[in-house]
Amino acid sequence: MTHPYLLLSASMLLTFGSCTSKQVATTAAVQQQAPAQEAKALKTGAEQLELYLPQLQGKRVGLIVNQTSTIDDTHLVDTLLSRGVEIKTIFAPEHGFRGEADAGAHIKDAKDSKTGLPIISLYGKNKKPLPEQVKDLDVLLFDIQDVGTRFYTYISTMHYVMEAAAEHGKEVVILDRPNPNGHYVDGPVLDMDQQSFVGMHPIPIVHGLTVGELAKMINGEKWLEGQRQAKLTVIPMANYDHDMPYELPVKPSPNLPNAQAIALYPSICWFEGTDVSVGRGTPTPFQLIGSPYYQKKDFSFTPVSTPGATNPPHKDVVCYGKDLTDVAVADKVDLAYLLEMYNNSSNKDKFFNNFFDRLAGTTKLREQIKAGKTEAEIRASWEPALSNYKKTRKQYLLYPDFS
């Protein structure tokens, strides 16, 4: 498969303040010399404490973090507390602070048993920090591993954090991390009438940006409410480029357990808007697709209740479909799986549900599939929006692009 292994590590500090210009950037470089005989190791933003600790000293800090927010094996919360940073609040995204909750499950506010810090859910009653939740903070620091797709909700949480910060005059610091799907750009660009928490920006399904680069784009394109701009600082990675293979050291959510699932995710997540299971409730989620209505019977699986998928689609029902655990994954949004499952369904009238258009970011894809359009015809309809996005994307890159 594409990009199946880990290369790990910095040297740049970027600040993007609130101004009237479209893209605002002040850049200072911190060079770190490694011995000539050693390969330069990738460093995440979080690992470069010397670049952002000074910005946190003497300030009241709110962290937007989860189980992926680590430096080696130590959680960022513990690292910052040990360095004397005044952490006031932890904000938790979808799946919670520990990353164990089911997809879509509302998360309640809580208290961290280890540190005693309050944990405020941004996937419960509200998805945007409330004024009273940020009024006693100076800095909001975001450090969450993303997987590079529009419908993965951590970037929506980042958007709302930036928006709250812009509205209330708070600083935002983004600690950048690699994008495991950052080596290509593909898919339909979101029609803004389909905007939702699984698609907030006019970007394609695979946007080809790190969270730091996307934060720059959100700020520069003035996508925050009221065209505000956050006082934004991005702590970039060192020695990273968009062609770099990267396998995540910590699974980003319960049902993306490995590199194969993450690579397949852009091409099969929209099955969550259909009657097709993506393998939730099996040992290999997002590596299987199947439905009771798929008419080819050569492969089957039965979803059951599991941690992170307590009530999966088609629970305890035999599903027929495809085993993708060992397939080679192309560097594109692959429509072949979607067309195959629809064209061989005995239940076409109920194949799609209301969530599909939100995931696709357009009503056109569903209409095209029902009309019998080919993959080539569908892909052609993504232009010119996709090419226009690619041009805009270039303005916000912090790292060498993929070849």
Identify the bridge partners of residue 14 per DSSP, sorted by sequence position: 27, 234
Does pLDDT of 32 surpass 50?
no
Q: Is the pLDDT of residue 22 over 60?
A: no
* Residues 51, 64: Cα–Cα separation, whole Å: 18
List the domain boundaries for the chain: 13-28+44-248+390-394, 259-365
| C-alpha–C-alpha distance, residues 302 and 291, integer Å | 10
Average pLDDT rounded to a whole number, residues 367-376: 98
Instruction: Identify the CATH class of 13-28+44-248+390-394.
Output: alpha beta
Mean pLDDT of 10-30: 42
Q: Give yes or no for a cis peptide into 384 (omega within 30° of 0).
A: yes
Percent of the chain with pLDDT over 90: 81
Q: What is the DSSP string of 296-339?
A: --S-EE----BTTBSS-TTTTS-EEEEE-TTPPPPSS---HHHH
Per-residue pLDDT reduced to its tens digit, 279-305:
999 999 999 999 999 999 999 999 999
Tell me how crowded residue 123 is: count the other CB atoms within 10 A of its CB: 22
Mean pLDDT, the chain, integer: 90
pLDDT of residue 94: 80
Give 98-112 pLDDT, tens digit per residue: 655 555 556 677 888
Task: Note the pLDDT tens digit of each residue in 144-170.
Answer: 999 999 999 999 999 999 999 999 999
For residue range 315-343, list pLDDT tens digits in order: 999 999 999 999 999 999 999 999 999 99
Place of tokens 């101004």: 19
